[in-house]
A and B are shown apart, each in its own frame.
Chain A
C-alpha cells in the first residue's frame, strides 16, 4: 500500500461527472428498467426481487415455527403441508435469497463503483442473469401452485423421484437459477480482471471485491455440477433412467456426492461475500485501514479453493468409507484456520480505531458475534465421532442458521444499510434502524441458540411432531422467530419511508475511503465520466476527510 503522504485530499473528493442525471432518473418508464443494461439498475431490481423472495421464505419459516410451538400437530397444518413449507423455506432462502443476495444484488450495484469502472464487462449477460432469476423464481412458484415439492431443499433420492409432489418444476427452477448464478460469476471475474482503472492494482482492490472474486470462481466452477445433477434427477423422474434410484439400478449415495459437490462450495458462495461486506464495514466505521489486508484477501481465496474438497463431511453417516470420511474431515479442519484468521483481523482492526456505532457497524458487530458461534460449532460437526451423534439433528440446523442467517443475512443487512444512502440517495431513520438491528440480533439468538441444546439432546431435524420433552425449547425458538420477524417488518417500513421521503444523502455519509463514495449519491449514470486514476490503498486517507455539518457528509480537507 502506498504511504498516506503521497495522497492529496482531492484524491478522496467527488469525481466530477458530466452526466446531469443520476442513474435513477436517466431514463423513465417500465421498459427502461426491465431492459436496462446499467449495472446499478439491474442490481436494484435484483435487490427488490431478493427482498420479496426473503419475505416469502420468511413467511414459510414462521409457518414452520408456529406449527412447532406444540409438540403434536396439527396446530395450523398437516404433516404434508409442514413438509412442503419446510422445503419451500429452505429452497427459497438458499436459491432465491442468499446465493444472489450479496453478489447479484449488492455486488452488482457496488462492485463496478468500487472498482472505478463504468459498468460490468458484459452488461447484456448481466441483464440475462436477472431475467433467468425471474424465470427460475416463476418455476419455484409454479411448483408451489401445482403441488409444492416436499423433498427438503436437498432433493435426496429416492424420495425425490417417488414423491407425488411437483419436484420437476422446483428442480428445473433451481437448474435455471444455477445459470443465473454462473453468468453473474463469469461477469464479475472478467470485470475484475479487465476493467480495473490505471493504478488499481490487485492489492489495492477493496476486500469486498476480493470476496466477490473468490465467490465468482466458485460460482463458475461448482454450479454446473448441480445443474447436471438436477437434470439427471428430472430425467430419472420423468422417464425412469436409473442413475440414482436403486430400484432402477442406480445409487442414492452418488446423488449425495453430486449434490454436496456443489452445495458445500455453495455455502461459501453464500458466506464469502458476507466476509467482504464485513471487512468494508469494520474499516469504514473504525476509521482506520483494515488490519492484515493480504491475509483477509488470501483467506477468502483459500476458503474458496478448500471448499471444493470437503463435500463428504455431509456424509459421515451415509455409508461412505472410513478413509473417505477421514480425508474430508481433515480438509474441513483446515478451513477453520483461514476463517479464524479473518475474525482475528477484524477484531484487530478495531484496535485504536475511532469506532462509530451506526446501524451498519451494529450489524458488523452482530456478525462477529453470531459468526464466531457459527464457526466454532462447525468444528463440532467436522469432528467425525461427535458428528455421528449430531448429524441430522437440530444442532446442524442451528449451526447453519448461525452461519447463513446469522452470518450471510446479517452481513447483507449491514451492507444494505451501509450502501443504502449511496444507491437510493436517501438517508433512513437511524434511531429505528438501530432498534431494528437489535431486534434482529436478539431474535436470531433466541431462535437458534436453543436449537443447539435440542440437537445435542437428540432432537432430529425436519420433524413435524416431536417428543414432549423438547417442547419448552421449541417454544422459546418460536418466540425468537417472531421477534426476528418483527425486526424485519420494522426494517421494511423505515426503508420504505426512506425511499419515498428520506433526507437527501451526502456523497460520503460515513467517511469511507473506497471509490464508490467518490460518486454522488445516487451515482451518475456512467459512474465515472473520466476513468479515475488510483494512487492509494482502498482504506488509506481517512485523515484527509472532514465532516461537513451542512451536508452531514464527509468532504476532503481544504
Chain B
C-alpha cells in the first residue's frame, strides 16, 4: 500500500504549497483584506478566550466549592433567589453591545469584499470538474492564476457544470462558481509569491484535487510571463504544445498517460484503437473522433465511463487541438 501511495504521489502534478506561516492561526496574507479580517478574527478570538475562561472558571469554582459530600449527607442547595431580573438584563445587554459592534465590523468588511473597484484588472475563470481555467485579457488560458503585485484584480467566475467555489486563503476571499450566472471576487495583492487555490464547494469525485496556484509577480514580471507564454505557444512543435495543454487545461485530472484508468479513458495506446460507445455503436480513434470528443464530449461516450467531461468548444483553438491529437499519437 505504501509503495502504491508513493507511486501515485510521484505521478501527480506537484501540489501547490502554502508559504511558511508567520502566525499560528491564519495563513500568510497576500491581499489588503487580510489586515481587516485577521484583526477581526483575533478580536473575536480573544473575546472568546476571555468569555470561556470566565464561564469555565465559574463552573469549576462552583463544582469545587459546592461539591456535595455524599448522598447520605442529604444536602440541598442553599436558599438563594431563583431569578434576578437586573442580572438577567445585564448579561443580555453586555453581549448584545459586543454583537452589534462585531456585526457592523463584519458588515463593513463584507461590503468591501463584495465591491470591486472600478478599473480593476480583470481575469476570467471557469470552474469545471475538476480544474480551474483562467483566461487572461489577451485570450491566453492557463490553469494558474498569475497577477501583478500591488494591483486591484477582479476575477469573474463561471461554472460549466456544477457548483464550485474559488477559494484563495492567502487573499482571504472566496466565491461560489454557479452554473448559469456570473459571480466575481476581487483583491488587491500585497505580497509576491505562490499561494494555493482550492475548490471549496463540494463538486464530486476529484473535488479535493481541484487545486491551482496563485502566482503574484513582482512589478513587470506579470507582463513578461504573459509574453513568454504566448511566444512559447506560437513556437512549440505540435506534440509539445499538446503535452502542455494536457497538463494546463485539466486533461490530466481525468486521463492518464500510463494506461491506468482514471475518470476517463487513458490516452496511452488510444490513437487508432477501436472504441465501443455506451449507446452500442463503435468507432475508431482518429483526428475527427478526438476533435469531436474535445468539443462535444457527450456525443460519444466510451462504454464503462460516465459522461463527466465538460466541453472545450471555444476554449481551445485549432492549433491547440492539433497539438493534443499529435500528443495522443505519440503516446503509443
Residues of A in contact with B (beta carbons under 8 Å apart): 1, 70, 72, 74-75, 79-80, 83, 150-152, 154, 156, 158-159, 162-164, 246-247, 251-253, 286-295, 316-319, 322, 325-326, 329-330, 333-334, 336-337, 340-341, 343-345, 347-348, 350-357, 365, 368-369, 372-373, 376-377, 379-380, 382-389, 391-393, 453, 456-458, 460-469, 511, 542-543, 546-547, 549, 552
Contact = CB atoms under 8 A, between A and B. Distances in A.
A152 B201 CA distance: 11
Nearest to B36: A385
A288 B44 contact: no
Interface residues of B, number: 95
A376 B54 CA distance: 13
A463 B204 contact: no
A252 B106 contact: no
Contacts of A287: 68, 75-77
B290 interface: no
Interface stretch (B89-97, B116-124, B218-226, B242-250): B89-97
A333 to B, nearest CB: 4
Contact of B181 (A290, A319, A379, A464): A319
Interface of B: 1, 5, 8-9, 15-18, 21, 24-27, 33, 36-37, 40-41, 44, 47-48, 51-52, 55-56, 58-59, 62-63, 66-68, 71-72, 74-78, 80, 82-84, 87-88, 91-92, 95-96, 99-100, 102-103, 105-114, 161-163, 165, 167, 169-170, 172-176, 178-181, 183, 196, 198-209, 211, 306
Contacts of B67: 354-355, 357
Given A391-B174, A392-B167, A376 B51 contact: yes
A105 B95 CA distance: 35
Given A351-B62, A372-B55, 4 more contacts: A83-B207, A150-B204, A379-B48, A466-B208
Q: Please indicate which of the listed interface residues B76, B161, B199 has the most CB atoms of chain A within 10 Å of its own CB.
A: B76
A295 B76 contact: no
14 contacts: A150-B205, A162-B161, A246-B179, A286-B66, A290-B82, A295-B83, A350-B63, A352-B77, A353-B77, A353-B78, A354-B76, A372-B52, A388-B113, A461-B200
B72 A353 contact: no
A506 to B, nearest CB: 11
A389 B173 contact: yes
Contacts of B180: 246-247, 251-252
B145 to A, nearest CB: 15
Contacts of B58: 347, 350
B27 A457 contact: yes
A348 to B, nearest CB: 8
A319 B1 CA distance: 43
Contacts of A252: 163, 178-180
Given A70-B5, A547-B74, A457 B202 contact: no
